Structure formats: structure tokens, C-alpha cells
Structure 1
């Protein structure tokens, strides 16, 4: 396509914008005037039937040549490029009038030439396309967009621009395909002409319109994989390839674990990306999840979605659809997440299936234990087999590695009848360490100063910066 098809500068939002409000497109520019449908015009490759009244020797089938001419008996080359059938018949009649008296020319179109059209902008496979032009109907704009891989999720369908040659001069007009998608106005699905150039500008598509756009016939196939990146408060940040219809991730707490996926017809969404990246961490701010998207013009759009409203009120439009090249960023919460909210997040579809904790000291099966998210401390101890006969059964230590790199330690009174509570039975987080100390009798039997437990060196490392809980005294 020529550079003259380029539209106005696409609407983009800078990365610095972090508003969590639903986004809206900028007010559209004044639309270009629409051009009414016009009769078919002849071009190279068209085949016509020429009949001269009572002169069969001059009649027959002829093809328009590359230079736009018909080579006819007696009169030679007649230029019909860009003429309608009626105009071409008049021109041919004028030429035969020089040799024949009232020649009685009839001109019919036998077969139309293929259309060569171009498309650029927010389309998945921009370029030049040859469309079949056989039968009784002409190729439509939506046929071209489908053949070109469908529109992107940044397409401004309200201002699709068409450049068309008329009498050798380019003319521009606009088409509102959103009117077709939203209300079924087929008048917006224009018939194409040979040499048309289509440009689809960019816009920031509102969340409430994105799903309808994804279900339209001009949307891309959702069975094709897309390459995205997930960063921030997830267990396995990095680049991923998302198939349509992603399943649960499995063990999200294990570095290097594999996320499961399946092929399907479901469009890839933010929650799919979070799942395959291992699920959210406890300090994830899901109210301001950010999506960064490149447009075909080289610009960048950034918008926020509120996944908490998805959990709280079922606002499914907040689970934004992704496309190839998107980056999903999950920021860190600036305030501690409450117990009720933490419990709700742990039950969400984008939480990890399991987390890993370490239970060390006087339990039956000390070591690494896998438990569901939001498991209370009491259940973590029981998952390690419970206290052994040497354990101090009244208190345990909880060591937590915080997102900012610091380490906190707490001494917690144990009551297995206690429900989940921040103070006495907190919900566990990935990589928490539960330390179960020795009872007084066990410590005395170990001669007070002798530490036979191989965990001592590990605890000495942990307690190097500060005084560790006196659980082993």
C-alpha cells in the first residue's frame, strides 16, 4: 500500500498512567464522508462478450489487456480502463460508427478479474491480497479483514479508512464497522474495488466493548498461540506462550514448574496469563493490574484492570482479553492484605494450586510440605505429621520471607481448636518456615547444651542478623 493510506496518529496512553477507572477512547475525529456504491468499472483481466447486430464475424469474447484496452476486429485497440459497461459500450459504438452504419453494439461482462487490495493498520497480517471475484456477488470489506487474519484488539472500527481510485484520482472515505458489529448494519460492509487501500487506525478499546469485538466474525482465531510476558507479583515471572483456553497451573509454588494448557476456542485473558505464571503472590495488588500493549503504528497503550471487582461482583469485563506481544504487570500492594481478602484471593482461579512451606524441628515428617493456599498454621503442622513426643506443644515459631527481602519472626501459641486468625492461627504463605522447638524435658535429656538436631546450622544462618526465637533453649 502507498503511504497515502496512513491515518491520523493513533490514540495511545503513556505508561505513566495508572488510573484504575474503566478506560474510554478519545473523542473520534470528524469522519470522512462515505462514498455511495458505484457501478462496476472495467480493468485488466475482465472478460466481456461483444455482439454487433447481424455481424457475428465481429462478435465474440474479449479480455481487457494489461494496458486497459480491448483489441477488437476492424477498429483495433479501444481503451476501456475504469469505464462502466455502459460507458465502454458507448466508446466502442463511437469507434464502429466510423466504419459501420448503426452497428448495434451490445457489451456484457462474462467474468470479473480478481481484486488486488491492500490493508494496513490494526490488522494481524497487513499487506496486499488477491480476492476472488467470481459469481454474482462482489468481495466485501469483512472478507478482506478475515483473510488478513482479523483485526487486533486495538482496532478503531468506527473510523476504518478506504482509499479508492476514481477517474485516476485517489479519494478517501470512512466506514463505521462498529455499527455493523454492534447493530448488524450491513450497509457498512462495503463492496471492494480493485486497487482499494484499507487502513484501520488504533484506539484504546473500552473493556465493555472488547468482548463483543472478540466474538465478531472479523476477530482473529483464538486457537492460535500468543506470546506474552507476565511480571510483578507472580511466582514465575517471564515470557510465556498462551494457547486458547488455559487450565490451572498445578504447583505454582515450585520454581520451574510447568503450567498446564489446552487447545481450544477460548480467547486468552489476563487470568490465563497469571495462572500460567504460577499464580499471584500474597502481596499482589490485583486492583491495579496493568496491561501494556504495542500498536501497529509503533506506539504503546497502557490500561489498568481491577481483578478484585471480578471476584467481588463478577465484573467479567475486567478480565481483559490479551493479544500477541502484551505484557501483564501485577504490582505490589502498598498495604498489608487483610485476612478476609487474603482468603478470598487464595480461593480465586488465578491463585496457585499449592504453596510450599518448611516445617522443621520436632514434628514427625520434618521438611518441605505442599499445602493449598490460605492453609492455616495449625494445618501446616498437621500436614507435617503433627508434633512428635519431644515437641514443645504450646508454642511454635513462624519465619516469613517478606516481598521486600526482609525476614520477620513470630512466636505463636498453639491451639488446634482455634480457627484461622492473624494472631493465633495465621494463614500460611509460600516459603513460610514453621519451627517446632523441644520441650523442657527433651532439652534436659539432650544435656541442655548439646544440639544433635542437624537443623541447628540452618537456624544459625537464619538468626545471624538477629536473635532467633528461644525455641530450642
Structure 2
């Protein structure tokens, strides 16, 4: 009788332990919601990039507590520098630390444990290639002065004028005139040669279009000597993408379009990037009464030199990217044709032009009462 309650209590505790180990039915039927996915970050170039010497760099070197070894030299076109007592030494492609170690090894032949100092006092110009859908593709040279700002040569706008510093990807695209109307702001590719001779080229793709529309992190990598930037062509852009690109500083501020024909102010007009056809005609003063809104020709030359002529209809109320109001590109020619009545009137005037002197002389003779020689 005494052991029965104890045995019963032991069975109850064992049952409790068994129930505690079991998974509750309600918990098994409840599905856990997965956490929201983190926004994907673009692949950035590694921050461990080491500056490597090349022709054009200016260096200053000295040996600790030893006079006569101070020198300020420039890397020559063959990648060598000339140092006191050491002569010619190859430094092309070396980092500052690797070049210092090579100089130290050279001085160690006749100095006991030399302590060599090597500093970069002036960087060589940064040369970068820009290709694809930009207004002025080509190879650009960006000199870096001692103040750390980027200068400009020719008639181009200075890169880095907003604050100086090392050139970035956005600076170089602006230097190339900005992204054209067919450029894809969601696919800007940065190609960087391998620091190892013969190594593969590194590629990084950036999506600035999503950042401009939705917000977020906008990477702006630094550009180094030998880099290449390619702006891909947009496959099927929509109006939102066109307007977003045109409103950004990636696109040129204005483009030049020539409007001729029956407008009040024919000639070259400047309009905003990706502006529609109606904007160019309105910038030229609009269509005159001699013009035809049913016949507007858009003449465009592609990158392969082929010229296309597209007949449109002038409609100021048409939406952007519609059939009659396409976005214009730099260098387009818009021709506003004459209407039917004007063509007929001009044709009659042209036909009567050879008879104009005779008709005018006959009118003068009639007024003077002289014989005209022309029968009634």
C-alpha cells in the first residue's frame, strides 16, 4: 500500500516525460514563414587592388642615413628607372612594395642592410576604354594631378569637377557623353585586366536602373589604368525606363536634332535626352500653315552607316514611344513635309515662272497703250 502511490507517481512522471518529448500536433500543422530574401548586392571589384607601376609614374627614393642616394625619377616608356649607383632597374607591373624590395636587393650588393624608402609622388594618367551605347565611345585619358582631382583635355567637361578625387565609373561615362537612347542602364559592364600577366579578364556588371527606380545601394567603383567600360544595348525599353534614364546624370543633358521643312524656325535644336518627336517640332516653333501634320519624315543613321527614313504623323498628344512619337537620338533629322494645297500652289507657280517676264512686260505695254505683240 505504501509502494503503490510511489509506483503510480513514477508512472505519471514517466508519462509526462514521454508527452514532453512528443511534438505538439498544433505545432506540426503550423507552417513557418520563410524570412524575406535579402536584396541582392552587385558583385564589386575586390578592395585589395594594388596600384602597379607603369610608364609615366614619378617616384622618389632614398636610403636611410646614407647621402647621395636620393633621386626623383620617372618610369620610362620601357618600364625602367635609373637610380644612383644602381643604374637601370625594371619596375613595370610591380607594386610599390615589390619595387622597394627589388631596389633593396640591388643596393644590398654593396651596402650592408640598406633601408630603402620609395614613394609615389605623381600618378600616371588613367587610360580607360568606353564602348557600346554612349555618345562618344573611344579611349579616354584622365590625368590625375597632385591635388587628387581629375583634369580634362580638349573641349570635354572636366571629370570629377564636383569634388575631385580618383575617377569613377560614372565619371568616365559622363566623359564619354553619357548613355545614348538605346543604352541599357541595367547592364553596365566593367572589364578589368588581371594583375597577373596572362591571367583572365575580370568582369563586373552593375544595375543602376533598378537603383534609380526602387532606391538602394548604388555602387560607383574606382577606375584604374587599363580598365574598359561597356554599355550594352537595351532589348525592349519601356517608357518608365527611358524617362528614368533621361532624368539621371548618366544621360547627356541635351542632344542635337536637325528639324527642316515647314516649321517656323528650321535648323538644329537642342532637346533633352530621349525627348519625343513632338518636342523637337515644338522647339522649332511648330508646323506652319504650309506644313502637313500627316507627313513627317524621321531620317536616322545607325552605327553601321545605314540610313533609314520613317514616315510618321505629327501628333503632339501622342505618348512617348508610340508609333508617331518615338524618342529621338542625337543626330536625327526631322523633315516636315508640305500639305497638299501648298504642293499644288507651288507646282502652279513653278510652271508659270518661265512666263512671268513676258506677262509682266505685256502688262506694262498695255498700261502705256503700246502694242504688246501678244494676241488677246
The normalised TM-score by structure 2 is 0.58
In structure 1, what is the equivalent of residue 26 of structure 2?
Answer: none
The 5-angstrom pairing of residues 6-21 of structure 1 reads none
- The corresponding residue for 2:330 is 324
Q: Post-superposition shift, 1:58?
A: 0.9
**CA shift in 2, pair 1:196/1:283, >3 Å:** closer
Q: SS of 1:107's equivalent?
A: strand
- Report the 3-state secondary structure (helix = DSSP H, G, I; strand = E; otherwise coil) of the residue aligned with 2:327: coil
Q: Does 1:88 align with 2:95?
A: no
**Partner of 2:189 in structure 1?**
161
2:178 aligned partner? 150
- Give the structure 1 partner of residue 224 of structure 2: 193
Structure 1 residue aligned with 2:32: none
Equivalents in 2 of 1:228, 1:197: separation in Å? 36
Residue 45 (structure 2) aligns with: 35
Render the CA deviation track for 1:161-200: whole Å, top value 9, x for unaligned: 333333334614133252565547442x222222223222
Deviation at 1:153?
0.8
User: CA offsets per residue over residues 379-437 of structure 1, 9 Å max, x none?
Assistant: xxxxxxxxxxxxxxxxxxxxxx79xx9xxxxxxxxxxxxxxxxxxxxxxxxxxxxxxxx
Report the CA distance between 1:46 and its aligned residue. 0.9
Runs (4 or more) in structure 1 with deviation over 4 Å come to: 179-182, 265-268, 274-277, 279-285, 289-295, 297-308, 315-320, 327-330
- The match for 2:204 is 174
User: Which residue in the other structure is 1:296 paired with?
Assistant: 303
CA contact (8 A) 2:189 2:205 kept: yes
SS in structure 2 of the partner of residue 56 of structure 1: strand
Whose relative contact order is higher, 1 or 2, with alpha carbons under 8 Å and at least 6 apart?
Answer: 1
- Measured in 2, the distance between the counterparts of 1:61 and 1:328 equals 59
Q: Secondary structure at the match of 1:59?
A: strand
* Cα distance in 2, alignment partners of residues 177 and 36 from structure 1: 18
- Distance in 2, Cα, partners of 1:118 & 1:99: 45
On the 8 A contact 2:252/2:273 being kept in 1, the answer is no
- Aligned: 1:244 with 2:270: yes
Distance 1:241 1:40, change over 3 A: farther
The 3 A distance-change label for structure 1 pair 302 and 109 is farther
Seen in structure 2, the aligned counterparts of structure 1 residues 202 and 227 have a Cα distance that, compared at 3 Å, is farther
1:210 aligns with 2:242: yes
Are residues 1:117 and 2:128 paired?
Answer: yes
Contact 2:299 2:307 in 1 (8 A): yes
1:269-284 matches, cutoff 5 A: 269-275=276-282, 276=284, 278=287, 284=294
The SS at the match of 2:186 is helix
Distance 2:259 2:204 in 1: 33
Which residue of 157, 166, 173 corresponds with 1:138? 166
Higher share of residues assigned helix: 2
* Separation in 2, partners of 1:172, 1:299: 34
Structure 1 residue matching 2:328: 3-state secondary structure: coil
Are the aligned partners of 1:164 and 1:197 in contact in 2 as well (CA < 8 Å)?
yes
Tell me what 1:106 maps to: 117
Determine which structure has more spread, i.e. the larger CA radius of gyration. Answer: 2
Q: Are residues 1:79 and 2:95 paired?
A: no
Deviates more, 1:60-69 or 1:34-43: 34-43
C-alpha deviation, 1:61, in angstroms: 1.8
RMSD (Å), alpha carbons: 4.4
State the shift of 1:131 in Å: 0.4
**Are the counterparts in 2 of residues 52 and 59 from structure 1 also a CA contact under 8 Å?**
yes
1:68, 1:81 within 8 Å by CA — same for their partners in 2? yes
Are the aligned partners of 1:121 and 1:297 in contact in 2 as well (CA < 8 Å)? no
Number of the residue aligned with 2:151 = none
SS in 1 for 2:242: helix
Q: Distance in 2 between matches of 1:33 and 1:221?
A: 29
Residues 273 and 138 of structure 1: CA distance in aligned 2, closer, same or farther (over 3 Å):
closer
5+ residue gaps, structure 2, are: 1-41, 149-164, 345-376
CA 1:302–1:203: 2 relative to 1, 3 Å: farther
* 1:328 Cα offset (Å): 6.8
Residue by residue over 1:78-136, the C-alpha shift from the partner in whole angstroms, topping out at 9 and shown as x without a partner, is 22212221222222222222222221122211111111222222121222221021234
Q: What CA deviation, in whole Å up to 9, does each residue of 1:32-55 have, x standing for no partner?
A: 975324122111111122131112
Alpha-carbon distance between aligned partners in 1 of 2:256 and 2:179, rounded to the nearest angstrom: 16
Cα distance 1:56–1:175, how it changes in 2: closer, same or farther (>3 A)?
farther
Distance 1:76 1:303, change over 3 A: farther
User: Is 1:55 paired with 2:66?
Assistant: yes
